[in-house]
Structure 1
Amino acid sequence: MDKIRLLIISEDSSARRGLSAIFASGNTFDVLGGFSLDRAGEKSVILQPDVVLLDISGDISEYLPKTSQLKEKCPCSLVIALVENEHCSNLNDVLAQGIDGCVPRGIMRGCLVNTVELACRAGIFCLPGSYKKKMVWSEIEKKNRLERPGNGSTVSGETLTRREMEILHLMAQTLSNRDIATKLFISEPTVKTHVSSILRKLGQNNRVQAIIYSYKTGLVNEPLLAHN
């Protein structure tokens, strides 16, 4: 199998030397050299590497214009950025410039080598775990803001009825269908029908998920007194 041709970009000369040594120690990579950001464009055009490892430090905005130019000049080269955790809030901007993956700078050297190899051989798209968690919670919060009721809004856009809200609050108190039926003086099959409707409207697969979702979105805060 051919070696992966790697070019390293970093403003820190010691980092360039260290990264070069890490990737040159095995038989997987052919390290083409380490260069500063100013020289990277020229060298990349000449060498056309398989992958560019971009070490981002300091103000991330300083890298964006040149990163975009680099991708234009070397469209077939993968660009993988080494980033600090504090850069995660700006990674959307970095990814928009054509970056093919981001790896935390503190990653163990063996994991770094394996990650870059997987990105090249298997097309794996890599992101720091802290960034992925941030994006997941950001999406949850956005969803919650859009769906937070007060008016009974739900995932599907359908509104829970008064009876369904009563049953949802009783579900949140961990009452069984039988207990709910007894409390509301209705039949157990009727409760099951309401529960199925609640799960469908909330877009949840089971009672536990529905209860957790309801607390997160504010559908359930304080117990609601049930009425016939």
Structure 2
Amino acid sequence: MSIRVVVADDQELVRAGFGMILDAQDDIEVVAEAGDGEEAVAAVRRHTPDVLLLDIRMPVMDGLEAARRVCAQSGCKVVMLTTFDLDEYVYEALYAGASGFLLKDVRRDDLVHAVRVVAAGDSLLAPAVTRRLVADIVRRRRERATADAATPRRLDALTAREVETLRLLARGLSNAEIATTLFVSEHTVKTHVSNVLSKLGLRDRVQAVICAYETGLTTPGSP
């Protein structure tokens, strides 16, 4: 079964370029294109795609608001597109439920890989730029914010092993790598990850990483 994708960008050439790359894959089908956020939301409702590639800066409705609506109203995975590698809107998009982001100068193979990874239910945590972005923005937000004593207590619902799983997630480790580190099976790791998301009310692994930084469980640059 093909991965159904909607590409949303206000630049026609960018849309067409991404569309051609993805449509050339045997397992991916571009079912619609959109020129602004409002069109993107409508296209998701109409075509029920698996993945939405969504530009952040667009007319009528920006990508951030479109991401909020799509993530709240559907199971479609959202990957944000941006020309800026340090754009605070990306953090907002991830917090709204997007599964990651790509720079618009992404390589052809990385674009295809990202769509496949997100469609499979994972998130874009592996690329170093994603981890750097999340770490940098969360660090700066925490520095500006007033200390909130209630925040660390968010993790009280987790077992010790679930806390350690969350810490390793924040380092960008895959399930297989976490399993090796903790000397448990990959199935056990998947259970721990599911429990972490459920107990903390998080949508996916990206939000789990953000939570780990916000609560101080891990800090930018920590091993």
Query: Shorter-normalised TM-score: what interval?
Result: 0.5 to 0.7
> Which AA in structure 2 matches 1:90?
Y
Contact 1:57 1:84 in 2 (8 A): no
| Correspondence for 2:56 | 56
2:100 matched residue in structure 1: 101
SS of the residue 2:87 aligns to: helix
Provide the residue aligned with 2:71 in structure 1.
71
Q: Which residue identity lines up with residue 79 of structure 2 in the other structure?
A: I
- Following the alignment from structure 2 to structure 1, what is the Cα–Cα distance between the partners of residues 94 and 53? 14
Residue in 1 that maps onto 2:13: 14
Change (3 A) 1:130 1:89: farther
1-side partners of 2:127 and 2:88: how far apart?
Answer: 12
Q: Percent identity?
A: 18
Q: Give deviations 1:143-179, integer Å, cap 9, x for gaps.
A: 99xxxxxxxxxxxxxxxxxxxxxxxxxxxxxxxxxxx
TM-score (norm 1): 0.53
1:47 and 2:47 are equivalent in the alignment: yes
Contact kept? 2:114, 2:124, Cα under 8 Å: no
Q: Take 2:25 and 2:94, find their aligned partners in 1: how far apart are those partners? A: 29
Alpha-carbon deviation of 1:18? 0.9
| Counterpart AA for 1:31 | V
Counterpart residue identity of residue 43, structure 2:
K
Superposed CA RMSD in Å reads: 3.2
Change (3 A) 1:33 1:129: same
Instruction: Give the drift of 1:141.
Output: 8.5
Whether the 8 Å contact between 1:103 and 1:127 is mirrored in structure 2 is no
Q: Give the letter for the 1:75 counterpart.
A: S
Deviations 1:30-66 (CA, angstroms, capped at 9, x unpaired): 110211223222221111101111123479x933222
Q: Is the 8 A contact 2:84 2:103 kept in 1?
A: yes
In structure 1, the partner of 2:119 is 120
2:189 is aligned to: none
Contact 1:104 1:128 (C-alpha < 8 Å) held by counterparts: no
Higher RCO, 1 vs 2 (CA within 8 Å, ≥6 residues apart): 2
Amino acid at match of 1:44: V
Q: Deviations over 1:111-170 (max 9, x none)?
A: 1101211121251334763452355467789999xxxxxxxxxxxxxxxxxxxxxxxxxx
Name the CA distance, whole Å, in 2 between partners of 1:138 and 1:15.
27
CA distance in structure 2 between the partners assigned to 1:34 and 1:141 by the alignment? 35
Task: Indicate conservation of the 8 Å contact 1:103/1:128, yes or no.
Answer: no
**Aligned position for 1:29:** 28
CA contact (8 A) 1:119 1:126 kept: no
